[in-house]
Amino acid sequence: MAEQTNKTKTTTAAAVGAAALAGSAVNLAFGQGSDRIKVGVIGCGGRGSGAVRNNLDAVPNTDVVAVGDLFESKAKGMKSGLDREQKYKGRIKIGDDKVFWGYDAYKKVLDTDCQLVILTQPPGFRPRHFKAAIEAGKNVFFEKPVAVDPTGCRIIIEASKLAEQKKLGVVCGTQRRHEFSRQELMKRIHDGAIGELVGGQCYWVGGGIWYRGASEGQTEMDWQCHNWYHFTWLSGDQICEQHIHNIDILNWCFNGPPKKFLGMGGRIQRDYSKQAKEVAQFFKSDSWEKYNGDIWDHITTELEYANGARCLSLAAHLPGSGRVNERIVGSKGISNCSNSIQDLKGQNVWTYKGQHVNGMVQEHKDLVDSIMAGKPLNEGVRIAESTLTAIGGRMSAFTGREFSWDWLLNASKLDLWPGDDKIKPGAGHFNPIPTGRDPLV
């Protein structure tokens, strides 16, 4: 990979012009006057089902033509569910021969004539799916996080550069960036409304998550992928999978990622031993502990930004009331990073009064509109940076080490991917629970 620097461009890149490179079928079609976009979905679980509906609700000119998932029931379930919804009548054009499942389902979706692909399989798969989609000439909407390790983030960055060359649209599921209220607020923060940024906090502290038992016909790898959240190589841990939303807001405030990381945390109450023992019995395994998952239940990170400001990140699945928000502090004021600014005494200075939109719908509208205008958005590098910020917090906590952004981006060799030859029905890929003193790779 080409070496990156701490000044990697973080603003959304807009490719210039409407003409496509040879092989970019979507833009060739637009050049011939088409006003519709064919959509394929890779990953038919809860988020995929939500994302495809967000896309259909966002604009009237998209049609769904192909779906794929690791599991047959998920792929077929998405088709049948969409077919039943009257509000999408005439826009669901998924033939029975365009419903795919298995570990190579993503390749089969990319081989169809879809022009935009929605990538919502587990984050561990996302770098390779994204790279394949861009190489196939597809515009992409993909969910966050977009990787689980520095190696995967570099794949995203390089593929995003290729997307820019091919004039392909790339938008990610950090919907807060597409909310009008936050956009107006950030303009003011960047214009100095609260002065120099001196600190802040961001939180995703909530309850626990699901745990799924084993089913007839599943192999260990199938089961593990069905329980992807519990394994760092698939989810990146909660700091990546959920807390990235809040971390991305801090990066937005500072117009870039932090320069230094110091993290800590642990696993004090995440226990699925009863279910794990049942899974071990199903697979006739003598070791049940590996089925208990390896992610932590709380990680706290100090993020130090380029101007010296230190911000606190709290990510956790713990009992209690919880908190999911952000707060940024400047030399002249404070903001909730959502819709208002207060002075240092807490008196309101500005509150957003304009139109409110659903960011999870608006992000699809922004993507499709940019493609149709011949100026496709490209958020790939920015989301790779925010993903890597979350990964940096996790790596610092897992190792007990402090390190810089430059080292993380350019020198870390961490690669959690088991290897293409191991991603198939059969044995799972299990790692021990991190100790907090793991080697820094």
Exposed/middle/buried for 278, CB within 10 Å: 0-12, 13-18, 19+?
middle
pLDDT value for 14: 34
Strands 323-330 and 333-335: antiparallel
Please report where in the chains the tokens 């599921």 appear, as a residue. Answer: 173
Count of CB atoms within 10 A of residue 373's CB? 12
Q: 180-357+389-422: which CATH topology?
A: Dihydrodipicolinate Reductase; domain 2 (3.30.360)
DSSP state of 92: B
Please report where in the chains the tokens 């697979």 appear, as a residue. Answer: 283
pLDDT in tens, 46-89: 999 999 999 999 999 999 999 999 999 999 999 999 999 999 99
pLDDT in tens, 298-339: 999 999 999 999 999 999 999 887 999 999 999 999 999 999
| pLDDT at position 367 over 50 | yes
Please report where in the chains the tokens 């940019």 appear, as a residue. Answer: 370
pLDDT value for 102: 98
Distance CA 300, CA 348 (A): 30
Mean pLDDT lowest among 15-29, 132-146, 405-419: 15-29
CATH architecture for segment(s) 13-177+360-380: 3-Layer(aba) Sandwich (3.40)
The predicted model gives 399-409 an average pLDDT of 98
Q: What is the DSSP string of 312-377?
A: EEEEEE-SSS-EEEEEEEESSEEE-SSSEEEETTS-EEEE--S----HHHHHHHHHHHHHHTT--E
Among 201, 202, 142, 137, smallest CA distance to 172 is for 142
Distance CA 260, CA 253 (A): 16
Mean pLDDT over the full length of the chain: 93
Task: State which H helix or E strand residue 58 sits in.
Answer: helix 46-58
pLDDT in tens, 10-51: 333 333 233 333 334 444 334 334 789 999 999 999 999 999
Banded model confidence at residue 430, pLDDT cuts 50, 70, 90: very high
pLDDT in tens, 275-291: 999 999 999 999 999 99
Distance CA 263, CA 318 (A): 18
First to last CA, the chain: 17
Edge-to-edge strand list for the sheet holding 13-14: 13-14, 377-378, 170-172, 139-142, 116-119, 37-42, 62-69, 99-101
Whether 343 and 332 have beta carbons less than 8 Å apart is answered as yes
pLDDT value for 208: 87
| pLDDT at position 222 over 60 | yes
The reply to whether 180-357+389-422 shares the fold of 13-177+360-380 is: no
Helix, strand or coil, per DSSP, at residue 287: coil
pLDDT value for 317: 95
pLDDT in tens, 112-128: 999 999 999 999 999 99
pLDDT value for 434: 98
pLDDT value for 267: 96
Distance CA 431, CA 365 (A): 40
Distance CA 54, CA 100 (A): 22
Whether 244 and 145 have beta carbons less than 8 Å apart is answered as yes
The predicted model gives 334-353 an average pLDDT of 97
- Between 239 and 207, where is the model more confident? 239
pLDDT value for 372: 97
pTM of the predicted structure, to 2 decimals = 0.92
- Give me the sign of the Cα torsion angle 288, 416, 255, 393: positive
Q: Where are the domains of the chain?
A: 13-177+360-380, 180-357+389-422
